[in-house]
């Protein structure tokens, strides 16, 4: 069951719900027409509860916090009612509503009591009807364990990229790359058609395509330039601010489904992040970050240290940055600081596999090899058709496409070979270790980079202690372990023989 804000596309379902709801937790004793209902719901703060495209509940309150509608349908009406009330409370906190008031029925007083609502007049009997209940909405601030002695000041390397959380998008680069691809492809086809070196189907339409893709390229270039200019300005602003550490004091996320412009339901996550930092005058300040993410949000947790750029109350969370050599802030997360001291007993080595031997690598390799086969096959097929139509030889037609085929083989074949080589090399290394005096130890993954995200070319390692008490650290590619470290799954097993080692995980 998910909650979402009401929009006009939900009007028909909302009308049907009001007419058929069997469990009216709190609602007026009359029905409204569609026009009046939409006006009422759109002017108020309204949320809906839905599951698998069906509407099971609706709740609404005015901008003063008076809860006016709460309709619920289905078997789990109590759970759905509480879900809607909680959603309204979150919305009230966001909109600055200080208090929610409601006059529940005799049968539903218990629901609001369980949600923390208090009776306005404590002298009255709880069983009496038409009594006002309320709940004060305020942001609870957890205690901040952030004394001044923990404050660090950093100096950023101005030669390296600086990215700000909430102000990064891959769309400009992707759009520009697609536009460049079509422009290059169109240029190649145009040159081939002009020189008469190959039979190009639809050559007479190339000027029209040139105009269309030219406009597409111009739009993509304009968006790409504007995005990067904004990035340069933000970088200059950050470099002029005080860069310090911050501590996350609270994290709240709200998952909901919404309809896009095409009417398709999409999953979104709205993230609310609260953190504390000391500004340039060593004044403790509270920062608040809010952003909407599609599908899933970045991983944050209470007590996590961030790096922020601040100037008074203005502050930015840095997503990607590089500190100057010798500067502070290279500590690993608390969960990654301890290195296991004891060797690990492994009774069945075959129950473990190298962490680099992931099934997804085989799948990616097979898919890319398939794309390569389809691409080369399609080019050969169309060139064969061209040879049949012109009564020429297949070689005379295919030889002009050989550079394209070679490019496809090198790029797609290289990608496929890379993803296939990763698990095969790891498996071969593990087999070589097992043939020698193999030993096993408990290991722990860590990220020693100076960023808090996993997508910023982080340096990932595995630390373990040998049976002789020697602590060792081995470098691991980010694509193998970045997701594991981000979600706290850092404990692994290490197989070593004195000359080399391999990081293992239990087979699933």
Together in a domain, 173 and 261:
yes
Domain membership flag for residue 147:
no
Separation of alpha carbons 53 and 70, rounded Å: 19
pLDDT for 82 = 82
> For residue 145, is it within any domain?
no
Residues 263 and 160 sit within 8 Å (Cβ to Cβ):
no
Beta bridge partners of 266: 258
Show the domain range for 416. 349-506
Identify the CA nearest to 503 among candidates 469, 468, 460, 470.
Answer: 460
Residue 280 DSSP symbol: T
Q: Tell whether 404 is covered by a domain.
A: yes
Number of domains in the chain: 3
Neighbouring-strand partners of residue 252: 272
Q: Are residues 229 and 129 in the same domain?
A: no
| Structure confidence at residue 429 (pLDDT) | 92
477 found inside a domain: yes
Nearest to 484 by CA among 454, 441, 450: 454
Beta bridge partners, 318, equal 164
Give DSSP secondary structure letters for 329-395: --PPPGGGS----SB---S-GGGEEETT--HHHHHHHHHHHHHHHHHHHHHHHHHHHHHHHHT--HH
- Count the alpha carbons within 13 Å of 100 in the hemisphere toward its beta carbon: 26
Distance CA 434, CA 298 (A): 39
**Do 51 and 13 fall into the same domain?**
yes
Inside any domain, residue 33:
yes
Confidence at residue 384, expressed as pLDDT on a 0 to 100 scale: 86
Residues 491 and 354 in one domain: yes
What CA–CA distance (Å, rounded) separates 272 from 275? 10
Distance, in Å, from the CA atom of 364 to the CA atom of 484, rounded to the nearest integer, reads: 19
Question: Which pLDDT value is given to residue 126?
Answer: 38
Q: What is the dihedral of CA 122, 124, 128, 133, to 10 degrees?
A: -30
Listed residues 331, 365, 389: the one ending a domain: 331
If asked whether residues 441 and 491 sit together in one domain, one would say: yes
Mark whether 173 and 36 lie in a shared domain: no
Same domain, 311 and 353: no
Q: Do 109 and 38 share a structural domain?
A: yes
What CATH number does the domain containing 88 carry?
3.40.630.30
Q: Is pTM, for the whole model, over 0.85?
A: no
Domain boundary among 298, 331, 364: 331
Domain boundary pick from 282, 301, 331: 331
Q: What is the pLDDT of residue 69?
A: 78
Residue 277 lies in a domain: yes
Q: Are residues 318 and 366 in the same domain?
A: no
Same domain for 380 and 487: yes
Judge whether 142 lies within some domain. Answer: no
CB neighbour list of residue 246: distance below 8 Å, 6 or more residues apart? 275, 276, 277, 287, 305, 306, 307, 308, 315, 317
Return averaged pLDDT per consecutive 10 residues of the chain, 508 residues in all: 76 75 48 65 80 80 79 76 83 75 76 78 42 58 70 87 86 90 81 60 69 89 93 93 88 67 72 86 88 74 83 88 57 38 69 88 93 91 85 81 88 92 92 88 74 51 86 85 75 87 86
Q: With the CA atoms of 304, 309, 310 and 314 taken in that order, what torsion angle do they form, in degrees rounded to the nearest 10?
A: -90
Q: Which residues contact 469 (CB under 8 A, 6 or more apart)?
A: none
Same domain for 322 and 393, yes or no, is: no
Which one, of 166, 111, 389, 478, lies nearest residue 297 by Cα? Answer: 166
Same domain for 213 and 70: no
The CA–CA distances, whole Å, from 464 to 306, 323, 346, 439 equal 27, 27, 15, 12
Beta bridge partners of 309: 243, 316
How many Å from the N-terminal Cα to the C-terminal Cα in the chain? Answer: 30
d(CA 231, CA 160): 13
């Amino acid at each position: 069951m998910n909650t979402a804000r009401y929009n006009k596309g939900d009007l028909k379902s909302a009308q049907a719900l009001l007419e058929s709801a069997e469990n009216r937790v709190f609602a007026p004793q009359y029905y409204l027409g569609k026009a009046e209902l939409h006006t009422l719901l759109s002017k108020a703060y309204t949320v809906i509860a839905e599951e698998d495209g069906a509407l099971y509940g609706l709740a609404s309150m005015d901008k003063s916090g008076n809860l006016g509608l709460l309709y619920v349908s289905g078997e789990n009406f109590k759970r759905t009612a509480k879900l809607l009330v909680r959603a309204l409370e979150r919305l009230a906190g966001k909109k600055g509503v200080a208090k929610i008031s409601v006059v529940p029925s005799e049968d539903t007083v218990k629901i609001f009591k369980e949600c923390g609502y208090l009776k306005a007049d404590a002298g009255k009997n709880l069983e009496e009807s038409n009594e006002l209940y309320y709940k004060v909405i305020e942001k609870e601030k957890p205690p901040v364990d952030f004394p001044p002695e923990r404050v660090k000041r950093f100096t950023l390397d101005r030669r390296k990229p600086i990215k700000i959380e909430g102000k990064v998008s891959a769309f400009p680069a992707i759009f520009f790359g697609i536009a460049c691809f079509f422009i290059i492809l169109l240029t190649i086809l145009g040159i081939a058609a002009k020189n008469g070196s190959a039979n190009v189907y639809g050559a007479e339409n190339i000027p029209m395509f040139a105009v269309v893709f030219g406009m597409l390229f111009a739009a993509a270039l304009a968006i790409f330039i504007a995005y990067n200019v904004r990035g340069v300005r933000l970088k200059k602003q950050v470099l002029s601010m005080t860069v310090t550490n911050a501590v996350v004091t609270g994290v709240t996320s709200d998952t909901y489904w919404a309809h896009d412009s095409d009417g398709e339901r999409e999953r979104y996550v709205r993230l609310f992040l609260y953190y504390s930092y000391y500004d340039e005058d060593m004044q403790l300040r509270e920062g608040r970050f809010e952003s909407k993410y599609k599908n899933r949000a970045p991983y944050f947790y209470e007590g996590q240290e961030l790096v922020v750029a601040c100037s008074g109350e203005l502050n930015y969370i840095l997503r990607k940055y590089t500190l100057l050599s010798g500067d502070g802030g290279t500590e690993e997360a608390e969960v990654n600081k301890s290195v296991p001291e004891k060797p690990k007993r492994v009774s069945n080595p075959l129950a473990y596999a190298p962490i680099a031997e992931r099934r997804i690598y085989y799948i990616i390799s097979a898919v890319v090899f398939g794309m390569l086969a389809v691409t080369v096959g399609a080019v050969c097929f169309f060139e064969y058709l061209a040879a049949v139509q012109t009564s020429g030889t297949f070689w005379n037609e295919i030889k002009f496409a050989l550079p394209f085929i070679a490019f496809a083989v090198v790029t797609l074949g290289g990608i496929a070979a890379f993803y296939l080589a990763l698990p095969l090399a790891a498996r071969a290394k593990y087999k070589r270790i097992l043939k020698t005096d193999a030993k096993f130890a408990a290991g722990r993954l860590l990220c020693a980079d100076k960023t808090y995200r996993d997508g910023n070319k982080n340096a990932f390692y595995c630390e373990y202690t040998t049976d002789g008490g020697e602590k060792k650290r081995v470098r691991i590619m980010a694509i193998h372990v970045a997701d594991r470290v981000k979600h706290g799954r850092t404990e692994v097993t290490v197989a070593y023989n004195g000359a080399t080692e391999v990081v293992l995980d239990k087979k699933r």
